[in-house]
Amino acid sequence: MGPYVTLFVLLALLAGLTVGKAWERYKLRDGRWIDRRRARESPHYMLGLNFLVANQIDPAIEELSIAADAAGHPLEIHLILGNLYREKGQVGRAIQEHQSLLQRPNLRKLEHANVLLCLGLDYKRGGFVDRALEAFSEVLRLDPDNRYAMSNLEKLYEEQHQWTDAYAMRQKLASEDGVSQKPRHQEILAFLENEIGVAALKRSEHAEAARRFGAAIDLDQKNAPAYLNLGDVMVAQGDRAAAIETWEKLINTSPDRAYLAYSRLEQGYADLNEPARFPALCRRLIAANPQEWRARLALARYLTSHDGASDALELLFEALAINPHALAIHQGIWETLTALRLPPALVNRYIVLARESIFYVDPHICVRCRYRSTELLWQCPQCHEWNTFVEERIAPAKDTEASLTT
């Protein structure tokens, strides 16, 4: 049970509280009047909430069930109980709980919407995508401004690759927010626009795809995949020069993502019979950012294949000092050392450099707050938790050749 769920349960509670109006404090049940408000005064109710806050689901269910029983089964407690069953993984039980609430007579519109929202979350959790879509859509019909329903619908559409529907939902979310939230919405809309373009590309609709990628870039100048894809479409349309221009724009707008375009640009320059533009680009990037290990790696690869293995090795040693965790650098070094026939002095330099670098990169990390340290600590200086440090392992394939060629 994550913080999101706790938050949701509490919000459901608040919704219940605001929905419950004073004049509906009393309710006739089984021939006697029950004070609905008393539910919240019950010790079982408070205990249940306390367990809930402490993420102890089973005792929370137990106490809230007693409280519900004592207070004439108010809707909001059963709403929470259903949510708790869902969190426990008992989706069937959650659905049953929430569906039975729908059978109640005289449900007000907002109550109805709340129940459907919870039911939608049950369906989503259980993998019943169509029913979840239906439930969330119904919530929006009853409560057109319901952001939970909107963002859940957006996520479901994304999972189903219904990018146009997801886009519409994100626009709806954006339209309710102020200017401060706009960049974040634009960023997401750009990714969705890019996906619509990718789908068009798969259908070989090049013009439509290019239009979508262009629109994604208009929405967010930093949307890297849109530049890459737009360039690919331009190559497919036979305009290599325009493609190169587009990829170079990516490098200008997002230098930290420049490496995504390296292999494309290297190929593109070679096809234009101007291969020297690639090492020149790498050198510019290195000059602009001394920490640019990927440009060094790319330049080293280029040099190795153009009779410049010695210079390549120096670049790789520099790259290693910047990011000793990158497997691709170690591979590059061994390839280049092998091409140079393993001169013992250089092999030794590599060994010393690698040992010192890895020590330098703070391999100990707090699993709780991600604080980094060069040495193993027993208490984290940032979050003050005990015994939370692990040695970070090198992530497989993250910085390897695969990511350079995508």
Helix (H, G, I), strand (E, B) or coil at 83: helix
Residue 351 or 369 having the CB closest to Zn ion: 369
* Triad 103, 109, 111: Cα angle to 5°: 60
CA dist 203 to 197, 206, 276, 313, Å? 10, 8, 36, 44
Q: Which amino acid is at 253?
A: T
Question: What does the alpha-carbon distance between residue 211 and residue 193 come to, in Å, rounded to a whole number?
Answer: 10
Closest-CA residue to 76 (of 46, 38, 114, 28):
114
Residue 376 or 397 having the CB closest to Zn ion: 376
Question: What does the alpha-carbon distance between residue 244 and residue 123 come to, in Å, rounded to a whole number?
Answer: 47
Tokens of 250: 């990516």
Query: Out of 136, 269, 293, 371, which residue is the one contacting Zn ion (CB under 5 A)?
Result: 371
Tokens of 90: 């008992």
Residues 6+ apart with CB under 8 A from 200: 206, 208, 209, 212
Question: What does the alpha-carbon distance between residue 17 and residue 301 come to, in Å, rounded to a whole number?
Answer: 65
Helix (H, G, I), strand (E, B) or coil at 217: helix
* Triad 82, 85, 89: Cα angle to 5°: 140
Cβ of residue 376: shortest distance to Zn ion, in angstroms? 13
Question: What does the alpha-carbon distance between residue 332 and residue 314 come to, in Å, rounded to a whole number?
Answer: 11
Cβ of residue 389: shortest distance to Zn ion, in angstroms? 8
Annotate each residue in 330-369 with x if it binds Zn ion (CB under 5 A) or - if it does not, as one string: ------------------------------------x-xx
Residue 95 or 380 having the CB closest to Zn ion: 380
Annotate each residue in 373-392 with x if it binds Zn ion (CB under 5 A) or - if it does not, as one string: -------x-xx---------
Residue 350 or 389 having the CB closest to Zn ion: 389
Query: Under rule CB under 5 A, how many of the chain's residues touch Zn ion?
Result: 7
Which among 213-221, 250-258, 270-278, 371-379 is the span making contact with Zn ion, rule CB under 5 A? 371-379
Residue 102 or 383 having the CB closest to Zn ion: 383
Helix (H, G, I), strand (E, B) or coil at 205: coil
Cβ of residue 234: shortest distance to Zn ion, in angstroms? 47
Cβ of residue 394: shortest distance to Zn ion, in angstroms? 21
Which among 228-236, 247-255, 287-295, 370-378 is the span making contact with Zn ion, rule CB under 5 A? 370-378
Residue 38 or 368 having the CB closest to Zn ion: 368
Site for Zn ion, residues 74 to 103, rule: CB under 5 A: none
Cβ of residue 390: shortest distance to Zn ion, in angstroms? 11
Cβ of residue 392: shortest distance to Zn ion, in angstroms? 13
Cβ of residue 384: shortest distance to Zn ion, in angstroms? 7
User: Which residue in this structure is represented by tokens 């490098």?
Assistant: 251
Residue 200 or 366 having the CB closest to Zn ion: 366
Residue 88 or 364 having the CB closest to Zn ion: 364
Question: What does the alpha-carbon distance between residue 381 and residue 47 come to, in Å, rounded to a whole number?
Answer: 34
Cβ of residue 143: shortest distance to Zn ion, in angstroms? 40
Which residues contribute to the site for Zn ion (CB under 5 A)?
Answer: 366, 368-369, 371, 380, 382-383
